[in-house]
Amino acid sequence: MSDKNNYENIDELLSSILNEPRSTQAQNTTSEQAVDVSKTSVINTAVRLDEEIDSDSVSGQTNVFNFGTFQSQHGRTGLVPDEDASEKASVRNAEKPRKKKKKRKKRNYTVYGGIVLATLVLCVSILISLFIIVVIRDVLGIESNDNEFTIYIEEGSSTWDIADQLYDEGIIQYKEVFVAFAKIMGADGNMYPGDLDVAYNMSYADIIDDLMEARESKETVTITFIEGITLYEAAQLLENNGVCDADEFIYTFNSTVFGYDYEQYVSSESLKLYKYEGFLFPDTYEFYVGDTAYNVAKKIRERTDEILTSEVIARAEEIGYSLEDVVILASIVQKEAGSTDDMPAVASVFINRLNNPEQYPRLQSDATTAYIDNIITQVMTVSSQTMCDAYDTYTCLGLPVGAICNPGADAINAVLYADDTNYYYFCTDPETGIAYFASTYDEHIANCELLGIM
């Protein structure tokens, strides 16, 4: 056979395989047995390859690679695009309704931003306005406190030095503003030293005007308050030296709050004779003759603040007492101890009693009865047994209601750092001032007999 006939036989054979029934294929195969064996192998190989690629291609379906379908065209088998499959896919896609995307509502952040900005501007404006008002009030001296007092401007003080001093005294609140006013008024470098009468309600302009005037120094007097002095005795000493009126001083000293930290620990017990008895620190002071009671009280209480520091307050809390308790007990130790050296031991006696109230409910200090006899009964126009009992440590339980004098630093420290003893009694030699301590009542009686004070 020629090659042409072989190709035709191949075509017919492929057509019969793809399009005719199995029975017909068998007949054609028998009739074509003369076909060359090598060609038949090629045909069989092609058929197997066709079946491996897509067994469903004979029915016109799309192959796994989606290239198209196998069809027999003009007696040949080929790969053609699957137009039907594309159309079916289009139809299916058309049948499925598309889900509409929900439109997100856009927030109007511009409006929110405007509201926040407007609120911020309003708050800032209010704060600035309040600050300006406060500054103007201070500059103009709009202050309810009109108490006058005197300060001393040292020689060579600069404008800033004066501003610092006025600020520390609480007369002005804005040093920079004061310095600016001084420069505007031409006072910078032209302010005189010396005594200056001031008040909290003075304007910056009035203060500067007074500073620009030459002032004569006021007459002063030096007064020493000994340790253990009472407020009543201190007031009499001030009046006798021409500083201020005694009654006015006592009233001002006990009714005025200067803003020192220790003041918050002082109670306002109604049974107290004087609220701030015990808080006049004994020291040597220089006062102006004819000064105001406010100025005198301020100077003394300021010195007391230098003694009753935050460390003292913390130590009092550490040993389980309030600051006022320490001052009250120190006032008793101040009066009872014959010497500074005995103070820590004397303090231990009272502390031991306070720590053992069931066995020793009362302190039994003779110094408290002396305060009643010498001060309370002399000051009170109408006797008050209730007040006297509140101070009498032979009657009241524990500490008296208030201090009985103004203790010094040694007595205060003796209470804060008392000796660790088991003493509950002591007595003092009236001639030598030496103290004799005892742990039991029998020992105490023996000491008293020894000193001849029983």
Residue 135: Cβ within 10 Å count: 13
Task: Identify whether the C-beta of residue 402 lies closer than 8 Å to the C-beta of residue 327.
Answer: no
Q: Mind listing the pLDDT tens digit for each residue in 251-307? A: 999 999 999 999 999 999 999 999 999 999 999 999 999 999 999 999 999 999 999
pTM (2 decimals)?
A: 0.67
Q: Mean pLDDT over all residues of the chain?
A: 81
Dump strand ranges (E) for 293-359: none
Tokens found for residue 135: 């500054």
Rounded Cα distance, 337 and 352, in Å? 16
Residue given tokens 């006797």 in the structure block: 383
Q: Which pLDDT score, from 0 to 100, does residue 87 have?
A: 52
Q: Mind listing the pLDDT tens digit for each residue in 230-259? A: 999 999 999 999 999 999 999 999 999 999
Q: Which pLDDT score, from 0 to 100, does residue 121 have?
A: 79
Please name which of 344, 386, 359 lies closest in space to residue 441, comparing C-alpha atoms: 359
Low-confidence spans in the chain with pLDDT less than 70: 1-109, 111-112, 129-145
Residue 5: Cβ within 10 Å count: 13
Rounded Cα distance, 165 and 150, in Å? 12
SS3 398: strand
Rounded Cα distance, 302 and 311, in Å? 17
